[in-house]
């Protein structure tokens, strides 16, 4: 069993914002596994797929970004998911736009959604895939930036980054070596 979580905000108004990169990547994960977000449980929208005969759950917390940890904690408990079977995908302002960074553990950094996941679950030793959103040409407060829409000229770049993040998550779920996945998808 493997659990892939894409962080974001559930309302349509946030659909194309920087803060929804995790939701977009989760959608790509579901597409790669031919899974659909059909059920709602544990305060999340959940898609169920299979990879090498093993169940893979892909979830989008419906709790809004800053309370994402509640859904993650509930899903981990319900499905008895260990930290080594969890990957969280999210936007990261500390990385340049379009970059993907995979790490086996770490802190929340400046990300409130990740802070919620770490606080609620009590763990930080789980895989995380960060999608860079920082645009050096934009100078507005962080909260306004992450909730703003991706510029049309950058949409293809972020679409590719989300797809690369999804491929990396699926590779981890398939049991590929962490170092090999980092080497292939970081950057």
pLDDT tops 90 at residue 54: yes
- As a whole number, mean pLDDT of residues 57-66 equals 96
In a 3-state reduction of DSSP, which class is residue 61? Answer: strand
Task: Please say if 99 is a catalytic residue.
Answer: no
In CATH terms, the fold of domain 2-185 is: Rossmann fold (3.40.50)
Q: Could you tell me if 42 and 63 are in contact, meaning their C-beta atoms sit under 8 angstroms apart?
A: no
Count of beta carbons in the 10 Å neighbourhood of residue 159: 14
d(Cα 75, Cα 110) in Å, to the nearest integer? 24
Q: What is the pLDDT of residues 65-105, one digit of tens each?
A: 999 999 999 999 999 999 999 999 999 999 999 999 999 99
CA distance 128 to 147: 21
Domain locations in the chain as residue ranges: 2-185
The whole-chain average pLDDT of the chain stands at 95
State if pTM tops 0.75. Answer: yes
22 neighbors 166 (Cβ within 8 angstroms) = no
Q: Which of 19, 99, 111, 163 is catalytic?
A: 19
């Amino acid at each position: 069993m493997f659990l892939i979580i894409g962080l974001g905000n559930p309302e349509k108004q946030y659909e194309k914002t920087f803060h929804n990169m995790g939701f977009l990547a989760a959608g790509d994960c579901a597409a790669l596994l031919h899974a659909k977000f059909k059920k709602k449980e544990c305060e999340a929208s959940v898609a169920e797929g299979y990879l090498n005969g093993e169940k893979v759950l892909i979830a989008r917390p419906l709790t809004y970004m800053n309370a994402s940890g509640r859904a993650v904690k509930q899903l981990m408990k319900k499905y008895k998911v260990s930290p080594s079977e969890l990957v969280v995908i999210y936007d990261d302002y500390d990385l340049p736009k379009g970059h993907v960074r995979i790490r086996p553990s770490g802190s929340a950094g400046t990300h409130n959604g990740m802070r919620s996941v770490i606080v609620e679950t009590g763990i930080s030793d789980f895989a995380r895939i960060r999608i860079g959103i920082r645009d050096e040409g934009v100078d507005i407060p962080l909260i306004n930036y992450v909730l703003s829409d991706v510029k049309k000229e950058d949409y293809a770049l972020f679409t590719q980054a989300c797809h690369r993040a999804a491929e990396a998550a699926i590779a981890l779920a398939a049991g590929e070596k962490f170092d090999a996945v980092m080497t292939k998808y970081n950057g």
